Amino acid sequence: MIGLTGGIGAGKSTVAALLAEHGAVVIDTDRLAREVVEPEGAAYGAVVRRFGPAVLDDHGRIDRGRLADVAFADPAARADLNAIVHPAVEAEVRGRLRALEGRANVVVLEVPLLVEAGWAPLVSTVVVVDCPEDVAVRRLVEGRGMDEADARRRVAAQASREVRLAAADFVIANDGTGEDLRRRVAQLWAALG
């Protein structure tokens, strides 16, 4: 079981997709986090109770942009959101892992907050996708349409590069071309084999 992490904009999803091409089963906790805050999701009611109707769209769904604006502006709000969402996501992960027992040789648990949430003990190997902060900010501005100040605030809200790197068994540098990244992931896969 591989824990795949890295800062926002580092390229975790790209690395996860490349590992899937090699045969890994990927569990994307960002996707699960979106699912648990859907109206039928396990964390929906608690999020709405904590943050109020201001985070809902016209259809009663949680507007992730509004929620992020509140959570990233206030460390206490972010801690409250994490305390609601992380246990629900962890329960989903555990259920999916039980369903995969004996059916998958390599499972990649893609967890942006692996270090911050204390999930490293759940995995046998921690892989950190790493890039310089300026590269991550540029990717967020160009790829996701964030303004630079918001991108920098989100990068700063996560564990530092140094903290993530200290937890790593393997580091994938994602500061070059797509072909560089593909080669590095192939090297990682061979090392894991």
Whether residue 58 contacts residue 46, with contact meaning beta carbons closer than 8 Å, is answered with: no
Topology alike, domains 1-24+105-193 and 38-103: yes
Q: Which helix (DSSP H) or strand (DSSP E) does residue 108 occupy? A: strand 107-110
Q: Please, which residues have CB within 8 angstroms of residue 5's CB and are 6 or more apart in sequence?
A: 12, 110, 111, 112, 113, 114, 115, 126, 127, 128, 129, 164, 167
Q: pLDDT, tens digit, for every residue of 133-190?
A: 999 999 999 999 999 998 898 888 888 888 899 999 999 999 989 999 999 999 999 9
Q: Which helix (DSSP H) or strand (DSSP E) does residue 30 occupy? A: helix 29-36
Query: Percentage of the chain with pLDDT > 70?
Result: 100
- Which residue's entry shows tokens 């072909």? 179
CA 167 to chain centre: 16
Domain extents in the chain: 1-24+105-193, 38-103
**What's the farthest any 2 CA atoms get from each other in the chain?**
49
Whether residue 27 contacts residue 109, with contact meaning beta carbons closer than 8 Å, is answered with: yes
Q: What pTM, to 2 d.p., does this model score?
A: 0.85
Residue 124: its pLDDT value, please? 92
Architecture of domain 1-24+105-193: 3-Layer(aba) Sandwich (3.40)
For domain 38-103, is the CATH number 3.40.50.300? yes
Using DSSP, state whether 163 is helix, strand or coil: helix
Whether residue 146 contacts residue 138, with contact meaning beta carbons closer than 8 Å, is answered with: no
User: How many other C-beta atoms can be found within 10 angstroms of the C-beta atom of residue 150?
Assistant: 17
Using DSSP, state whether 74 is helix, strand or coil: coil
Length of the chain: 193
